[in-house]
Structure 1
Amino acid sequence: MHLCSVIAVLLIAFAIDAIHSSNLKRLFDLNPDIFRTTPELITSRGFVPEQHLVTTDDGYVLVVFRIINPYVKQVKRPIILWHGLGVSSDSWLFSTEGRINASGIYVENSWLINDCNESVTNSLGFTLASCGWDVWLPNSRSGHYSVGHVKLDPNRDPLYWKFNLNELALYDIPAVVEFVLHTTGHKTVGYVAHSLGTDQMFALQSLIPESGKLFEPFIALAPVAYLGGIWSVARFGVPLEPLLRAFPGPLGVPAPIMQLIAVVICGNEYLNDICLDTLNLIDGADNPNFNRSTVTVEVAHSAVTSSTWLLAHLAQMVTSNRYQMMNHGRVENILRYGQSEPPAYPLGDITSPNIALFRGQNDALADVYDVQHLIDSLKVKLLDNYIVPYEKWEHHDFQVAITQGFYVNRRVLQLLAKFDHAS
């Protein structure tokens, strides 16, 4: 065979391979972040992960990750980032546009973050770590990481699953905060949370007002307390509340199944609108601002297992339009609370002046009227009452929007800087 013929055959082979590769990319998304755990996400950006086990007073073993920036000589105060419902600590780390390394440089385009008040990325966890903050990433009980208990077996003991918002507020948060303060030697922490992570903090500070002194500041992204106005598709699950309460147990989807859905459906050019439309129905439609490159990753890291009791508690608050403790029925309410109806969380008892609210105008889960109801119930002056100046800003834009860095993370850094002197 002549040399020209050999070259021609090789070129055809390369062309066929390229075509096949192109088709595969259109049919599947194999972004490695789909399969990465929190430590792997941290390592992939050049940071160093630490893993800690924290045991709550009621026996649950929580997994808490820490981001170590090897380039920072003097670390700033500890900041706790608490995730929302159905996700884990992963949710603070997988924004594609926030793919930076520990020295503050984008992997893709070598953009140096030399001004942490202006030049920020869309990944809050990595932005804070790059700017020198001591970032801690806890995982709530029963989730993707925190499945342990000192006595109860989640596969055998229904008692393991009998927890609701009260336990997240009165056990999970205090255990993590105490551990972080003891480990770092500081007297206060910053607390930034999304959705349910804010809900549990409002419950804690309303029941134990003096606890507010520990949080400088508490920044609530998509703040949740009252739920009566939600217009998410999730509302259709509210009638299942009696069933959820009657059968305490896990509710979620195993990570391998969510990864498969992400790769085969969400990563398919011809099917990915199914995933996007589903997210829109849950959170509030915002296609122009949604980072489509993160859809597969977000789906892969969602549907994390939680308790049916917690979901029942949230469903009750949707129905009642009250920010109240779980309703166990008249007889058990009397035994638990000393009254036939569950008491409300006394938001008016909160005393902390260091609470900042970040809210959207198109949020299906933290509805504008529910958030205003929360504000009206608080008697303290807010540190910040920030309405994102983009009318379609929805629930998960706080973690996956293409403009998250500009609209949210930059302002978070500015607020944290006010407390940089705190101990």
Structure 2
Amino acid sequence: MKIFQGNIASPLGFSADGLHAGFKKRKLDFGWLVSERPASVAGVYTTNKVVAAPLVVTRSAIEEHGQMQAVVVNSGVANSCTGSQGLADAYSMQRQAAEKLKLEPHLVGVASTGVIGDLLPMDKLEKGLEKIVINGNADDFAQAILTTDTITKTVAAKEMFGSDEVTMAGVAKGSGMIHPNMATMLAFITCDANISSQTLQLALRQNVETTFNQITIDGDTSTNDMVLVLANGCSGNQEILPETAEFEKFSQMLSAVMTDLAKKIAKDGEGATKLIEVQVVNAPGSKTARMLAKSVVGSSLVKTAVFGEDPNWGRILAAIGYAGADITVDKVDIYLGPIPVLLSSNPVAFDDEEMQDIMQDDELVIKVDLHNGNSKGTAWGCDLSYDYVKINALYRT
């Protein structure tokens, strides 16, 4: 598999664009993604009991029809907690986009992200729809879906399936409210592989637990998060079927794309200065390992210690202890980068200058060895800085 510099329209048969429609004051805030033919589609959605109107509309279309050909997205206004009017506006967004693109409404997905509680300004939506151009600037799509993000998040990959080259690309937004399962996060993945919606959904569900569901920024779960994967079959490969070597190859490709996007979201956490990767190894089960890794990376005390460049391993051990896992903690090893700070649950002396060099890096790997099985799990997050409070205190102003 080859990772390369591409965009969401890199796979055959896809185009995308983004523009400023007025949902935000100046920045790009409206984007669309279109396939030249109906595509197989898979999706996973927020676990919050409060579900935003666009999610209701998109999920319903996928569950009832199992295909999608276009997705339209606005940023700046979430259209969440907006009652019956918000739901009607989301359906109107879907219908108007379908009319503009000359598609059936059920082939159009809609997504929104931004401030909760505000109604969607339909005049600005119509302004954005009037400007839709097929084969526009796909890099602008990545920009148009952002809210408090500081960078765009894209990845593209190629892989051979028989004699046919399959391309997959992903784009995501997410910076805050990222926990415990995907929150205030949108991710769109395109692919030109020939694969059914059912098989695509299987691959997505297999990989979401170890990728997007293993990132945490601040402990809050939003109402709008969603991951959509579209595969339009334009590469002409033989259909990828479950329980085959080709499916495993496809699943690994999807995992690589999702992992890349997940790490970019974690690194771009609101106010973040460092990416934290927690690796738990030799655990009694993979679910336990993932749970422990996420407990550590989600600990506010661990996150603030990393921000302050303080090698306070006691906070890491405490986060392991309160995670709720059935484990023994009498033979735990903890490493900060390559430096051991705890071996067999006993403190280890370390060189302060060497440790300071490790703690000053913008990426820190924390490794926890339980010596209690052979499973492993990884989670990603970021430090907790002064700017996080400032960004979220002034979000509406």
Is the TM value for this pair above 0.5?
no
More strand by share: 2
Structure number with greater CO (CA < 8 Å, separation at least 6) is 1
Which structure: larger Rg? 1
Q: TM-score, normalised by structure 2?
A: 0.24
Q: TM-score, normalised by structure 1?
A: 0.23
